[in-house]
Structure 1
Amino acid sequence: MTDKAARIFKIYPHILSILFMLLFVLLAINPVDRDVWIVEDTPIVITFILLVFTFRFFRFSNYSYTLMSAWMFWHTVGGHYTFANVPFDFITHLFGFERNNFDRVGHLVVGFYAFAAAELLTRKKWSGPVLATFFGLFFIMSIAAWYEILEWIYAVLHGGQAGIEFLGSQGDIWDAQKDMLFDMFGALFALVLFWIIRPDLKIDKHVSAA
């Protein structure tokens, strides 16, 4: 690894975090629905804080940070507009969709966290790559199921327009099932990448070089 590449490798997570914070602050200003923004952005803030405070104890690969940031950026936009109302008409009309599928893409990128889960397990030597792959998939599927349950509980308890917007079903009776399916698709994609890249075999050399 050249000196320039090593420097870029070292600061890459910091660049992502700065870009995320700028976007977060910008979209925190006057969201479409403040109640929805709070419940949608709370998981993002918690995830970001965890990654920041654990960085010095465990540095994921830049592949993981890229994949994890995809959800954080996407979800921040969704939280500002509410997912059903994000300006996504170009894609909707291009493919002839009957609904705004910005939230479907959001669930897809949630699945990308399977890559980080598999990397953590293998680099910490808590499991082999095969078991880590299954854990990554099951981890995402459990998160997907719990999130759909939380959406339902919030919609029932809160009610009103905020409850409807947070649920985000847009009249689709199979919305929850489709959301979980897209979470799984994202996880499968990320795990295929994991096996292609195998960060557990490369990252330590890069860290030493940096």
Structure 2
Amino acid sequence: MIKGKSNTIHLFLLLFVTAVFIWSMIKPVGRYLTWTLEVSPAVVGMIIVIATYNKFRLTTLSYTIIAILAILTFVGGHYTYSKVPLFNWIKDVFDLKRNHYDRFGHFLKGLFAIVIREILLRKTPLTKGPWLFAIITSISLAIASLYEIIEWLVSKITKGGKAAKDFLGTQGDIWDTQWDMSFTLVGSILTLLILSKLHNRLLKKKH
């Protein structure tokens, strides 16, 4: 019964993410090249999740986090991260210097720490404790750093064209890369502190 309920939730998450993806690709604000660059990590991630679903099924918490991050990426891809309407409104109301959707996105990417945690606990000899916490945090920061390197490479390859500038989304902030990685680091630490106990209970139910 629980397994059947989980499958239903997983299917709903997949359908919802697919619907947002379709919406995202319809007349995006930026160029389609920018849109492709923005959404490709989430698309690749979804393909991997679907391909491994029967062989290595994650907890519903992990799938929910993956869905949230995919939706976040598709929304950012549709508007470009510097032009998401809600955060433009926040920018105007609070007289901010930039649209902070990308900061918000990098902070929420810290949620992926739970997915990393699940893979490590289930596929490696690592056990719960300080070392697990440190390794997960390090991997999260490494992924955030890799993404920034990819952004830099795209900018170099395209010679800083408009699509690349929209993809980078620095909005004139010379410390944008450092801020993005820092927000992911903080998000990862908070995620592990807040959700680890819930994740442990879900892992026990799964086995």
One fold, TM greater than 0.5? Answer: yes
Question: How much does 1:94 deviate?
Answer: 3.8
- Mapping of 1:117-128 within 5 angstroms? 117-128=116-127
Stretch of structure 1 that moved more, 57-66 or 72-81: 57-66
Q: Tell me, yes or no, if the aligned pair for 2:114 and 2:196 is still in contact at 8 Å.
A: no
Gaps of 5+ in 1: none
Match of 2:97 in 1: 98
- Mapping of 1:33-72 within 5 angstroms? 33-72=31-70
Match of 2:107 in 1: 108
CA distance in 2, matches of 1:165, 1:147: 15
- In the alignment, structure 1 residue 16 sits paired with structure 2 residue 17: no
Q: Tell me, yes or no, if the aligned pair for 1:118 and 1:135 is still in contact at 8 Å.
A: no
CA distance in 1, matches of 2:187, 2:3: 30
CA RMSD of aligned residues (A): 1.8
Question: How much does 1:63 deviate?
Answer: 1.3
- In the alignment, structure 1 residue 162 sits paired with structure 2 residue 153: no
3-state secondary structure, aligned to 1:56: coil
Q: Deviations over 1:165-203 (max 9, x none)?
A: 11100001110000001111111122113432143x533
Q: Tell me, yes or no, if the aligned pair for 2:65 and 2:111 is still in contact at 8 Å.
A: yes
Q: Tell me, yes or no, if the aligned pair for 2:21 and 2:74 is still in contact at 8 Å.
A: yes
- Mapping of 1:60-209 within 5 angstroms? 60-87=58-85, 88-130=87-129, 131-158=131-158, 159-199=160-200, 201-205=201-205, 207=206
Question: How much does 1:89 deviate?
Answer: 2.1
Q: Deviations over 1:129-169 (max 9, x none)?
A: 22332222111101111111111121122122111111100
Q: Structure 1 counterpart of 2:118, which letter?
A: E
CA distance in 2, matches of 1:125, 1:194: 20
CA distance in 2, matches of 1:133, 1:11: 31
3-state secondary structure, aligned to 1:111: helix
2:26 to 26, 29, 54: 29
> Would you identify which runs of 4 or more consecutive aligned residues in structure 1 move more than 4 Å?
none
CA distance in 1, matches of 2:73, 2:175: 21
The TM-score, its normalising length taken from structure 1, stands at: 0.89
Q: Structure 1 counterpart of 2:98, which letter?
A: R
Question: How much does 1:10 deviate?
Answer: 2.9
Question: How much does 1:81 deviate?
Answer: 1.3
Question: How much does 1:79 deviate?
Answer: 0.7
Q: Deviations over 1:98-121 (max 9, x none)?
A: 100011111112111111111221
Q: Tell me, yes or no, if the aligned pair for 1:155 and 1:163 is still in contact at 8 Å.
A: yes
Q: How many residues align?
A: 203
